[in-house]
Chain A
Amino acid sequence: QQPVQSPQAVILREGEDAVINCSSSKALYSVHWYRQKHGEAPVFLMILLKGGEQKGHEKISASFNEKKQQSSLYLTASQLSYSGTYFCGTANNTNAGKSTFGDGTTLTVKP
């Protein structure tokens, strides 16, 4: 079951904050986040395992609410380099090949 991401697109000015959401209709074991710049491969940002943890990566952090089957990616004080398409991948077990990607959220940061 493909997770649903929202919003589909967001435009920011440098220094502004953004939140990208990822929700699933099925119980989740983990959520992983990637950023893909135009013409490049997706780059792994972080993974959150069930247990309701929150993680941080410089000014990018994420939370995972296992009960609500939702994850949110927080981008604070955005930089031009944050522009790209953000995908969440969700897995309901640990087995290889069982993750499904959302349709992506396109983030554009303007000067």
Chain B
Amino acid sequence: DTEVTQTPKHLVMGMTNKKSLKCEQHMGHRAMYWYKQKAKKPPELMFVYSYEKLSINESVPSRFSPECPNSSLLNLHLHALQPEDSALYLCASSHPAEGRTGYTFGSGTRLTVV
């Protein structure tokens, strides 16, 4: 059983839609991440929250908007996406010293933009 839960598992949205991806962890981790993964590629870091504060934004377009309401929840708000944004979106969590512990990934949201 994964201890990082992502919803929905699949999402199809039009380019004018607004949708949100949700992530919840019950591991007591204080660092949470959004990654984007294209087929046959490694996960690509988008955002990092450490102690509920945004600490890293990897120059992600503003059509992606992260939110961390509390230490267990992480959202990714999507608006006016492009077809090239179709990918697997992974949430992960870790101890804040992730270099010591590695990540626990959620099962991902498979996003298709039409």
Cβ of A89 and Cβ of B102 under 8 Å apart?
yes
The distance in angstroms between the C-alpha atoms of A40 and B104, with both chains bound, is: 13
The interface of chain A, by Cβ under 8 A from chain B, is 29-30, 32, 34, 39-44, 46-47, 49, 87, 89, 91-99, 101-104
Nearest 3 interchain pairs by C-beta: A97-B48, A91-B99, A101-B42
Interface size on B, residues (CB 8 A): 29
Closest CB-CB distance, B107 to chain A, in whole Å? 5
Which chain A residues lie closer than 8 Å to B96 at the CB level?
Answer: 96
The distance in angstroms between the C-alpha atoms of A99 and B107, with both chains bound, is: 20
Cβ of A41 and Cβ of B2 under 8 Å apart?
yes
Closest CB-CB distance, B101 to chain A, in whole Å? 7
Cβ of A41 and Cβ of B99 under 8 Å apart?
no
Q: Is B64 an interface residue (CB 8 A)?
A: no
Cβ of A41 and Cβ of B90 under 8 Å apart?
yes
How would residues 81 to 114 of chain B score, 1 for a CB under 8 Å from any chain A CB and 0 otherwise? 0000000101000101111111111111010000
Which chain A residues lie closer than 8 Å to B102 at the CB level?
Answer: 30, 32, 34, 44, 46-47, 89
**Which B-chain residue is minimally distant from A48 (CB atoms)?**
B102
